[in-house]
Structure 1
Amino acid sequence: MHRRTIHRTRIELTELGFGASVIGNLYRTTTAADSAAALDAAWDAGIRYFDTAPHYGLGLSEQRLGATLRTRPRDEYVVSSKVGRLLVPNEEPRGVDSEGFVVRDDLRRQWDFSRDGVLRSIEETLERTGLDRLDIVYLHDPDDHWRQAADEAMPALAELRDQGVIGAIGAGMNQSAMLARFLRETAADVVMLAGRYTLLDQSALDDVLPAAQESGKSVVAVGVFNSGLLSRQWPEEGMKYDYQDAPAELVARARAIAEVCEAHGTTLPAAAIAFPLAHPRVVNVTLGMRTAEQVTRNAQLHGSTVPGALWDDLRVRGLLRDGTPTPDHVPGPAAERSP
């Protein structure tokens, strides 16, 4: 699988990454066997970038990811995790986590972007995963904590990076405006952008992508299916968009894009994966994958050819914003299948 380097670092990411939130029992239970099978399938497909966080299943995702990756050669893969939510004992457990993960709530999340919180979080992640190091560390959802995240957490991560303990640092969020600030105003190397540069939402063209271009930094794109609406060949009513039921007008727009994709001999999910990779600052698309079958499907979608004429057709029809990059912006094998 083709790799791209995080700008100004030595960290190389495969174009497709494995998002490990779902193996932390996001929304429903996933067995340990299914999680291991999904990770093995990802490895067999050539995926070598794996992303997790303490938040995902109150540590379960990190534990499961580490259990599988510890059996693999450490220099052959890249792992990222996140800081900002410490896991602490829950004094008032109710039985099940209240933030979308089907796990016991013996622990709870505690916001902490202090220097000590960052160091403690990394140490606990290494204990849960059993790994010797993290290659990338992101600040996780610092929306309401800009000052502490920028003034304490990011300098702490920069110190670890400069010491060679971490390869790259950044922030991950569902909004793009603050990510642009992290790129412009802090030592971040890369940001994880969720859902703001997709076939249905190109708002990142107004802030984070220009910031990455100007600062010479990189973007990892996640949420490219917008919570599911772009994940099937033919979107239907009742599918999710940004964690909520998709409005009828967005379902109709997604179906219109799907019709153009079919006319060009491709599918909506294949185009959704290919689209962000056309931008010169996007180095990876990471997808949440629960089963081996999902991994195989997504790897095949990523490897399929998306005709360049599709993107021009979508622009002409007003289904894709003007100003999105064209294929010749992307060097190497990715160019043929990117917009």
Structure 2
Amino acid sequence: MQKRTIPGTSLALTTLGFGGAPIGNLYREVSDADAIGAVQAAWEHGIRYFDTAPHYGLGLSERRIGEALRGAPRGDYVLSTKVGRLLRPNPSPGGRDTEGFDVDDGLVRVRDYSRDGVLRSIEESLARLGTDRIDIVYIHDPDDYWAEALDGAVPALSQLRDEGVIGAYGAGMNQSEMLHRFVTATDVDVVMLAGRYTLLEQGAREDLLPACAERGVGVVNVGVFNSGLLSKDRPAPGATYNYAPAPAELLERANLLADICERHGTSLPAAALAFSFREPLVTSVVVGMRTAAQAERNTALGAQEVPQSLWDELEERGLIDTVPGPAATESPSREGAAR
């Protein structure tokens, strides 16, 4: 599998990465065997970038990824996790998690973007993962915590990177506006962008991607199926967008995209995945994988050739943006960044 390097670092990510939320029992329970089998199948098919977070299943995803990768040469893969949610004992346990994961509620998430919170979070993630280092650390969903992240997490992670404790750091969010603020106001190496640069919508082209090109910041693109709307050859009844029932106008647009894909001999999910790879700034596309079969399907989709004629028609019809040429992304600079 091809690799792309995060600008300014030595970290080369496979263009397709493993997203660990599903094996944290996102929406429904996954057996240990299926979860570990998903990671191992991804490895067998060439994936060497694995992303997780404490949030995913109250630490379950981290533990499972750690177990599945135990014994794999540590220098052969890139591992990322996130900070911003500490896991602490639930004072009133006895039910199930209320944030989308089918796990016991023995722990609760405590938002903490302070320096001490970041250091504790990394230490606890290392223990759950059973590893001696984390390559990339993302500040996770700081939408309502900009000041705390800027004053606490950013300088802490910048120092850890400069000391060689971590390889890179950035922020991961479901919006492009605040990621743009991180890129222009801090010295992040990479951003994880969820759902805002896809075959269905390209809002990040307006603000975030130009800033990343100017500052030499990598982009890890996630949510490329828009939480399910683009994941099948034809949008399924009840398909979701942003984790809620898709509005009628977006269902209509997705069906139009599916029609055009069929005419060009490809499928909607193959085109949705390939779309990101047209953008030179995108270092990797991370896709959630729940089972070995899903890992095999996603790697097969990632290997499919999508004809240029499809992109030509979509551009002509104004359904996708036009990717700038190399001149627009060459010679990035971080002049003025606090690095």
Same fold (TM over 0.5): yes
Residue number in structure 1 paired with 2:46: 46
Q: Is 1:208 the counterpart of 2:214 in the alignment?
A: no
Offset at residue 325 of structure 1 (A): 4.3
Q: Is 1:324 the counterpart of 2:323 in the alignment?
A: yes
Residue number in structure 2 paired with 1:335: none
Task: State whether residues 281 and 329 of structure 2, in contact with CA within 8 Å, keep that contact through their aligned partners in structure 1.
Answer: no
1:1-339 equivalent positions in 2, closer than 5 A: 1-321=1-321, 323-325=322-324
Task: State whether residues 83 and 137 of structure 2, in contact with CA within 8 Å, keep that contact through their aligned partners in structure 1.
Answer: yes
Q: CA RMSD in A?
A: 1.5
Give the structure-1-normalised TM-score. Answer: 0.95
Aligned AA (2:172): G
Offset at residue 244 of structure 1 (A): 0.5
CA distance in 1, matches of 2:276, 2:204: 11
Deviations 1:140-161 (A, max 9, x none): 0000000110121011001110
2:28 partner SS: coil
Corresponding residue pairs, total? 330
Offset at residue 319 of structure 1 (A): 2.0
Deviations 1:168-198 (A, max 9, x none): 1000000000001111111210000000000
Segments of structure 2 that go 5 or more residues without pairing to the other structure are 331-339
Aligned AA (1:324): V
Offset at residue 330 of structure 1 (A): 10
Task: State whether residues 278 and 325 of structure 1, in contact with CA within 8 Å, keep that contact through their aligned partners in structure 2.
Answer: no
Aligned AA (2:257): I
2:4 partner SS: strand
CA distance in 1, matches of 2:293, 2:56: 21
Aligned AA (2:96): V
Deviations 1:50-91 (A, max 9, x none): 000000000000000000111211000000000000001111
Task: State whether residues 279 and 329 of structure 1, in contact with CA within 8 Å, keep that contact through their aligned partners in structure 2.
Answer: no
2:221 partner SS: strand
Offset at residue 317 of structure 1 (A): 2.4
2:79 partner SS: strand
Aligned AA (1:51): D
Deviations 1:266-294 (A, max 9, x none): 11101101111211211000000001111
Task: State whether residues 27 and 101 of structure 1, in contact with CA within 8 Å, keep that contact through their aligned partners in structure 2.
Answer: yes
Distance 1:302 1:129, change over 3 A: same
CA distance in 1, matches of 2:328, 2:181: 25
Give the structure-2-normalised TM-score. Answer: 0.95
Distance 1:304 1:318, change over 3 A: same
Distance 1:325 1:290, change over 3 A: farther
1:172 partner SS: strand
Distance 1:2 1:316, change over 3 A: same
Offset at residue 329 of structure 1 (A): 8.8
Aligned AA (2:229): L
Task: State whether residues 213 and 329 of structure 2, in contact with CA within 8 Å, keep that contact through their aligned partners in structure 1.
Answer: no
Offset at residue 327 of structure 1 (A): 10
2:109 partner SS: strand
